[in-house]
Chain A
């Protein structure tokens, strides 16, 4: 989200999901929407089939949405910045950009214009493999839209250039005047139910709730008062990926992990295991004995979403109610109660009667949530920012002006991924998800039905590569990277691009993240899950 925050001043979906059906051109890049956000993908499909919108899909894999696309740009893995710069090159060269908008709403255009000059469609074809003619057509199509919507997900962010990728998309959208209008926007699709909420609530090392900076003295003063404290730490903390590094080096002594399973979700799993084992105290609070919980010193049983009251904030910034439907098994407790008990015991009493009380405090200390109450969201959620009790909420961000004032163009050059195929590891690996499983499988793999439909890991490989390696469908393969190896069956598919295989990361027994690269985006600290180099062998 760092990329959007830098460009616009706020890092969230700029437009609501329902706006997708109001767009006349939609660009989907780095999102396998039908499998990862299935219900949201229905908006894209309806926009095309019922509203006559045109769809551009940019993805190396032949994902299902390509069936609905006017243009499918099959670029080489990790060349997103070059692709977008190429589109902007065409749009500027052909004078198709929104001059009034660029003039009145943005800054930094001169530098951008200068930079994209070198990204001629022909040059971009060399980098991305997308035919120049196709790139030109797609650029013209997007630039010609009254309202152009951009949707992206982890396929954009999980690169060492993730922040750059996002900035490029922000550039493209601003260039064509697509931010702050109905049906437009740059829209990151969040992968987990309450990622947006976890960020909004200050589950980040550098901000309190509502993205109020911990190193801003005025903010800190306010929080000290609100929380009846004498002091609060003034330096930003460190992100999860660095916590693991410090644990590995013995400098991090204790971790309290709530509802996360880094033992499957982090890159380079053997490293994570050593890091966690190195801690003096590992507390894991979860609904199952996950791979991470199995390493813990103390495991705390918590309540699932169906067993508690509260709110989630969805990918479109809409705060919605969560309600208790069943009681928790055994002694399992709501996470909020566990945290309160622990705080009480450590000498800082947290006394709340129920989640509604906590939400009242959130509204008091969080400007973007100030106007939201349980009563107001009883039937339908409200989009933040919602500063006052009579404010209707904000479906479309940056309407009159950007959160930061003027929208900022970033002249972003293309950089190749951290690890490229070579003689020893000649194939690209990209990772992702399948429709029937979710994240590390702690939830979906408890369903016999879902397991029947997606029982095990596979390696999606192109027909041509299969021929080269003499692989038949369902052959057991060894997939080896510089960091580890796993076994999985071959699935020969027209979805895969030649020179690249795809592996879903859900499965413990063939954890794709044993292979992936820990190289991080320098700003967002996101690992490059989407690109690494591997070799394959037939398993004996």
Chain B
């Protein structure tokens, strides 16, 4: 351990690298400091003000995402004073928008004016689509934060005039993660804060569909609340903890992004990027994130077909395999193995490609095997 670069966090000696913030040093050393706006590999906005910590010898609490680690610093991340400050800030954030999740299951007669207000718009009668995956909700529960004021919540209307992304400004906490994701991770440079920093907007505040947005959905993936939601989630309101997610590799281009397929009752409901692992480190494109409908499309082939005259007729697997085996065998005997060609595929797995070439070479006896890589 480099003795010149030591900081003590909660009694633990931690090494840090140059210009690293206390938050980053802590994370790297396995110490969790809660934050709503921190996004790795970007410059912190410091907007959520949750990551407060105490530094020995300093009167004020500081934001750990804005303070660079310095040799000899003694830091505490979880004192009663910090907890109180975090709770106050969380209450401010919950009160700033339509964050109705915590009252959802209460008797309506027990609602406060604030809660009634939060539940008033039609679209908010149902469960917030981020329920169960909301970082604000998690922290509000952890710190027992409650809405504090009954001020009227004014927010721009929900924008859903595009196929994929719903923007519900009434739930935006202005943390700026989406801005960072768009500008510093995907570098699409589509959204930013308006001048008064009261709304995240596209150029000229146009809807996404009329901006130069490419619908990569990185903003949806990083949104810590229910302000940016995939349209499918918004519409079907999948109950929390009823889906399972399976990690696999995207099937579009050659980049091989690592994805989670979220499944409920054998239906794909969502695709998200796998954070922290290459090659994509959580990022996806519009096709990978939103273009999964083909998998469970009604036009999928579900049974073998054999041509009878001009028409393809349904058949059993036995009939189809018999038919092909007989005909291939006949043609091979009559015209030789090189009269047969096999096209394997850039779409199927390695295991399947391996068997396809083995089939051509070992079963048919020809090297006439290729695929459409060139095309």
Contacts and interface: CB of A to CB of B under 8 A. Distances in A.
Interface of A: 16-18, 34, 36-40, 42, 45-46, 49-50, 68, 157-158, 189-206, 208-209, 214, 223, 227, 229, 231-233, 235-241, 243, 246-247, 251-260, 262, 265-267, 280-281, 283, 286-289, 293-294, 296-302, 304-308, 310-316, 318-327, 329-336, 339-343, 345-348, 350, 355, 358-359, 361-362, 379-381, 435-436, 438, 442-444, 446-450, 452-453, 524-527, 529
A232 B357 CA distance: 12
Interface stretch (B58-66, B103-111, B331-339): B331-339
A302 B338 CA distance: 26
Contacts of B352: 258, 310, 334-336, 339
Nearest to B184: A50
A51 to B, nearest CB: 12
Contacts of B257: 39
Nearest to B284: A39
B368 A243 contact: yes
A314 B329 contact: no
A197 B214 CA distance: 29
Contacts of A287: 294, 300-301
B240 interface: no
Given A45-B187, A254-B341, A329 B296 contact: yes
Interface in B281-299: 283-288, 290-297, 299
Contact of A258 (B277, B285, B307, B345): B345
A76 B272 CA distance: 40
B305 interface: yes
Contact of B367 (A39, A158, A237, A300): A237
Interface string B355-368: 11111111101111
A189 to B, nearest CB: 6
Given A193-B346, A304-B295, A342 B325 contact: yes
Contact of A298 (B266, B305, B360, B366): B305
Contact of B247 (A232, A323, A342, A449): A323
Contacts of B140: none
Contact of B163 (A252, A362, A452): A452
Nearest to B355: A339
Given A38-B287, A198-B346, A321-B248, 10 more contacts: A201-B350, A258-B356, A312-B249, A313-B256, A324-B246, A339-B359, A341-B317, A347-B363, A446-B299, A453-B163
A197 B353 contact: yes
A415 B355 CA distance: 40
Contact of B253 (A36, A251, A296, A380): A36
Contacts of B164: 449
Nearest to A256: B342
Contact of B255 (A37, A253, A321): A37
B216 A38 contact: yes
B148 interface: no
Contacts of A524: 374
Interface string B189-217: 00000000000000000000000001110
B181 to A, nearest CB: 10
A358 B340 contact: no
Nearest to A203: B344
Contacts of B246: 323-325
A19 to B, nearest CB: 11
Contact of A194 (B184, B187, B267, B349): B349
B371 to A, nearest CB: 5
B261 A325 contact: yes
Contacts of B267: 326
B347 A193 contact: yes
Contacts of A253: 331, 335, 339-340
B249 A201 contact: no
A321 B351 CA distance: 11
A331 B302 contact: yes
Given A42-B185, A198-B346, A202-B354, A254 B255 contact: no
B321 interface: yes
B375 interface: yes
B1 interface: no
Interface residues of B, number: 107
B132 interface: no
A319 B341 CA distance: 27
Contact of A450 (B255, B290, B322, B327): B290
Most B C-beta atoms less than 10 A away, residue of A36, A294, A312:
A312
B263 interface: yes
6 contacts: A191-B346, A231-B365, A256-B359, A334-B352, A335-B345, A524-B374
B180 to A, nearest CB: 12
Given A17-B255, A331-B317, A237 B338 contact: yes
Contacts of A362: 350-351, 354
Interface of B: 163-164, 184-187, 214-216, 231, 246-258, 261, 263, 266-268, 277-280, 283-288, 290-297, 299-307, 312, 315, 317, 320-325, 327-329, 331, 335, 337-363, 365-375
Nearest to B367: A237
Contacts of B251: 193, 304-306, 312, 443
Contacts of A307: 295
A438 B340 contact: no
Nearest to A35: B214
Nearest to B165: A449
Query: 6 closest pairs, A vs B, by CB?
Result: A330-B302, A314-B256, A449-B163, A310-B349, A237-B367, A259-B345
B294 A447 contact: yes
B286 A450 contact: yes
A27 B191 CA distance: 28
B341 A238 contact: yes
B290 A447 contact: yes
Given A39-B285, A194-B347, A305 B248 contact: yes
A257 B325 contact: no
B365 A233 contact: yes
A298 B320 contact: yes
Contact of A39 (B255, B322, B360): B255
Contacts of B371: 195, 198-199, 203-204, 240, 260
A353 B191 CA distance: 50
A232 B248 CA distance: 36
A288 B187 CA distance: 36
B170 to A, nearest CB: 24
Nearest to B42: A50
Contact of A299 (B187, B312, B317): B312
Given A239-B370, A287-B300, A39 B254 contact: no
Nearest to A443: B294
A445 B331 CA distance: 37
Contact of A341 (B299, B321, B344): B321
Contact of B349 (A39, A301, A312, A444): A312
Contacts of B369: 202-205, 237
Contacts of A266: 372, 375
Given A233-B361, A253-B335, A333 B317 contact: yes
Given A194-B353, A346-B363, A205 B370 contact: yes
Given A39-B283, A342-B359, A444-B287, A254 B349 contact: no
A296 B304 contact: no
B373 A256 contact: no
Contacts of A324: 246
Given A260-B345, A355-B351, A527 B375 contact: yes
Nearest to A234: B367
Given A301-B300, A301-B302, A438 B291 contact: yes
Contact of A227 (B288, B320, B358, B374): B358
A355 B297 CA distance: 25
